[in-house]
Amino acid sequence: MIDFKEKLVDLFIEKYNQFERGEILEIIEIPPQEDMGDLALPCFKFARVFRKAPNLIAEEICANLASNEYFQEIRNMGPYVNFFVNKELIARSVINNVYVQGERYGSSTLGEGKNVIVEFSSPNIAKPFSIAHIRTTVIGHALRNIYKFLGFNTIAINHLGDYGTQFGKLIVAFKTWGDRETVEKDPIPELLKLYVKFHDVAEEKPELEDEAREWFKKLEEGDEEAYQLWQWFRDVSLKEFNRIYEMMGIDFDSYAGESFYSDKMNAVIELLEEKGLLKDSEGAKIVDLEEYNMPPALITKSDGSTLYITRDLAAAIYRKQTYDFYKNIYVVGSQQNLHFQQMFKVLELAGFDWAKDCIHIPFGMVSLEEGTMSTRRGRVVFLEDVLNKAVEKTREIIAEKNPDLPDKEKVAREVGIGAILFQELSHSRIKDYLFSWDTALSFEGETGPYVQYTHARACSVLEKAGVKTFADIFAINGKETTVEPGRALENVDYGLLLEDEAYQVIKQIYTFPESIIKAMERNEPFLITRNIIDLAQAFNKFYHEYPILVEDPELRKARLLLVLCTKIVIKTGLKLLGIESPEKM
RNA sequence: GCGCCUGUAGCUCAGCAGGAUAGAGCAACGGACUUCUAAUCCGUAGGCCAGAGGUUCGAAUCCUCUCAGGCGCGCCA
């Protein structure tokens, strides 16, 4: 695709060769308003060099640059020189690229040969999968898709919370009050009840806590009874989780959770010992990080059992050995900022230069109107309920608006679940947010259903026109049905796509690939969400303003190309976010 | 107490390696369906960018302080 920024630099450097390409490229901006053109060169920075007011410099630069095939106009606007790209050319370039790449438009080979680990979701076994887990799950999944699309080899790891003292607690609770049959029937809620009961009773009888630690120790030492129970808790929980992942269309390459590293812990402790990093402190072993302005990292408890960070260290080392990652990404809430800082620092101190390739991607908390979520207090919103409610609401809307729709149930699921996922991916990660049913179930404006609706609308026009592919459209006013990339597009009149509304659609599609790269660089999927919302808005405006299925075959052809490109890009964008694009809704 | 994060329209948020008149959506109000899906589109209204200082030709954006909220800070994960 034509890079107009580069072309601008070419044009400028040709006259002003005393500047570096990079420094010019860096200052190019996008003007705040449409009537100011597509790119702008601010002249403030030149003031010192030319010893003149920016206004005058702009005037002079403008006079020295002549429009060419890439820029149809170059305008002096105060301290800025503004560039208007050749609309016909950009239309052609964009459409040609979508035509050649199809649903791979925006993809890249940037990451070829590089392994990227994305650790996400990682629920705790025997606890409900609540909306607190939705963020890591959805953001992580989108990131994995994005890296993959850019050519990286991705490894999606669900680092299950399937180990730790909590299982000691659960074993104690189950042995004291539990009943196998009841748990089998409705595993997670029943296990949750046991867990809650444990905490209630333990407030009066703190010796239960000791008992729990005792059982966890037994588990670590391979006690048969403890192991059997643990295995069973894990199996029934995983079965439930997988049902939810399936609803959301998410899968993993590995479910190696904390327990997976239980036999790799000693090696870590030995290693840290060897490097002289370990210190005894009140019976526990720590790595002192005072020098780095951090509290110490607790590696083993005074009873010798391991902790969270120990397992995470073991996991990181194992992953480096197994996958030789280029990046090891942890999609985990911002509450754990300190934990990851400590852990990465310990890796660095242990002499692993790849510690710098470990990246924590934090995100804000989800809370409920009635306060912070607390599984212990039973203050939870189950993710499955949220998804089901969204599907239910979609069913109602379909019954009202489109009762003759085929595949109603499938569409209801795609749209309902899409709405939830989309909402999750429409803000920057770091902000905390309040879960509200109203927002989650709102389907108008900047929402998933809006974007999906736009896609369905585009599909519907294409269907009415009787075209499916680019070749179908090229054939409209000519004989060619099979054509080579690049050539066929010559028989389209791009001058027919110059209206402002059409041009906005083209521009939006032009920026789609950049938005994917940015989303990867910043690990912010919402940048893609933003991009396709803007595309949908631009398209809907165009759609409203201009009829597509017009008599004039050349105009019809050009407009249909715009529709097809929009459809493809929206579909690709949604797919990256993990959302389906129904053709009718 | 110390550390990290957040504060932009009534609400939810963009914009923050400084740049032109601070943008969307929701909610409110008013318009547009015998013509390609009205889950749409158009318009009106809504702002001391938390506050105060500073740096700069220029600050929502950078620095300092203050205020408000969230999170974290040794035997949970």
What are A231-242's pLDDT values in tens digits?
Answer: 999 999 999 999
User: Which tens digit of pLDDT belongs to each residue from A349-365?
Assistant: 999 999 999 999 999 99
* A498 closest CA partner among A19, A218, A85: A85
**Is the C-beta atom of A210 closer than 7 angstroms to strand B?**
no
Residues A458 and A561 in one domain: yes
Name the domain count of chain A.
3
CATH number at residue A15: 3.30.1360.70
Q: How far apart are the C-alpha atoms of A566 and A454, rounded to whole Å?
A: 9
**Least confident window among A202-211, A257-266, A298-307, A472-481:** A472-481
Domain that holds residue A356: 115-262+323-368
How far, in Å, is the CA of A368 from the C1' of nucleotide B67?
26
**Chosen domain end from A46, A63, A85:** A85
The last residue of a domain, from among A333, A368, A403: A368
For residue A251, tell me if it sits in a domain: yes
> Has residue A487 got a pLDDT over 90?
no
User: Is residue A50 domain-shared with residue A127, that is, in the same domain?
Assistant: no
Answer yes or no: are the C-beta atoms of A257 and A122 closer than 8 Å: yes
Report the alpha-carbon distance of residue A517 to residue A74 in Å, rounded: 29
Does A486 score more than 70 pLDDT? no
Q: Tell me the torsion sign for CA atoms A347, A353, A354, A360.
A: positive
**Are A69 and A144 members of one domain?**
no
d(C-alpha A53, C-alpha A26), whole Å: 21
**Which A residues 358-387 have CB within 7 Å of strand B?**
364-365, 372
For residue A480, pLDDT over 60 is answered with no
In a domain, A350, yes or no: yes
Q: Is residue A148 part of a domain?
A: yes
Assess whether A294 (CB) lies less than 7 A from strand B: no
What is the model's pLDDT at position A131? 87
Is the four-CA dihedral A436, A158, A253, A328 of positive or negative sign? positive
* pTM (whole model) above 0.90: yes
- Measured in angstroms, what separates residue A83's CA from nucleotide B53's C1'? 39
Residues A539 and A406 in one domain: yes
Cα–Cα distance for residue pair A267/A273, rounded to 1 Å: 10
What CATH code is carried by the domain that includes residue A129?
Answer: 3.40.50.620
- Look at residue A293 and tell me whether its pLDDT is greater than 70: yes
Is A219 among the domain residues?
yes
Is there a domain that residue A462 lies in?
A: yes
Q: Say whether the CB atom of A161 is under 7 angstroms from strand B.
A: yes
- Compute and round to an integer the Cα radius of gyration of chain A: 29
Residues A469 and A347 in one domain: no
- For the CA of A162 and the C1' of B68, the distance in angstroms is 39
Specify if A44 maps to a domain. Answer: yes
CB A572 within 8 A of CB A580: no
As a whole number of angstroms, the distance between CA A494 and CA A554 comes to: 10
Q: Tell me, yes or no, whether A98 lies in a domain.
A: no
d(CA A307, CA A296): 13
Note whether A419 and A363 are same-domain residues: no
Residues A130 and A218 in one domain: yes
Mean model confidence pLDDT for chain A? 92
Separation in Å, CA A374 to CA A122, A389, A430? 17, 21, 21
Q: A376 in a domain, yes or no? A: no
The pLDDT assigned to A89 comes to 93
Judge whether residue A434 contacts strand B, using its CB and a 7 Å cut-off: yes
Task: Tell if A511 CB is < 7 Å from nucleic strand B.
Answer: no
Can you tell me the distance from the alpha carbon of A519 to that of A107, in angstroms, rounded to the nearest whole number?
13
Structure tokens at A525: 């999927």
What is the structure's pLDDT at A193?
87
What string of DSSP letters covers A343-378?
A: HHHHHHHTT-GGGGGEEEE--PPEEETTEE-BTTTT
The reply to whether the CB atom of residue A322 sits less than 7 A from any atom in nucleic acid chain B is no
By C-alpha distance, which of A163, A173, A260, A239 is closest to A208? A173
- Supply the pLDDT for residue A303: 85
The three-class DSSP label of residue A156 is strand
CB proximity A460–strand B (7 Å threshold) = yes
State the pLDDT at residue A377: 61
Looking at the structure, tell me whether residues A129 and A42 fall in a common domain.
Answer: no
Does residue A219 contact residue A230 with C-beta atoms inside 8 Å?
Answer: yes
Positions in chain B where some atom is under 7 Å from a protein CB: 3-6, 12-15, 19-21, 23-27, 35-42, 57-58, 69-77
Distance A526 CA to B70 C1' (A): 22
Clarify whether residues A492 and A349 are in a common domain. no
- In this prediction, residue A386 carries a pLDDT of 92
Q: Do A350 and A494 have their domain in common?
A: no
Residue-wise pLDDT for A493-551, tens only, equals: 999 999 999 999 999 999 999 999 999 999 999 999 999 999 999 999 999 999 999 99
Band (A422; pLDDT cuts 50, 70, 90): very high
Of A231-235, A376-380, A432-436, give the lowest mean pLDDT range. Answer: A376-380
Taking Cα atoms as reference points, which of A49, A39, A136 lies closest to residue A507? A39
Alpha helices in A33-133 (DSSP H): 47-50, 54-64, 87-101
A558, A483: one domain = yes
Q: Among residues A63, A85, A107, which one ends one of the domains?
A: A85
Residues A54-101 pLDDT 10s: 999 999 999 999 999 999 999 999 899 999 999 999 999 999 999 999
Which nucleotide comes closest to A543 if you measure CA to C1'?
Answer: B36
Q: Whole-angstrom Cα distance, residue A516 to residue A147?
A: 9
Instruction: Give the H or E element holding residue A330.
Output: strand A327-331
A361 and A431 together in one domain: no
Q: How far apart are CA A135 and CA A143, in angstroms?
A: 12
The whole-angstrom separation of Cα A228 and Cα A222 is 10
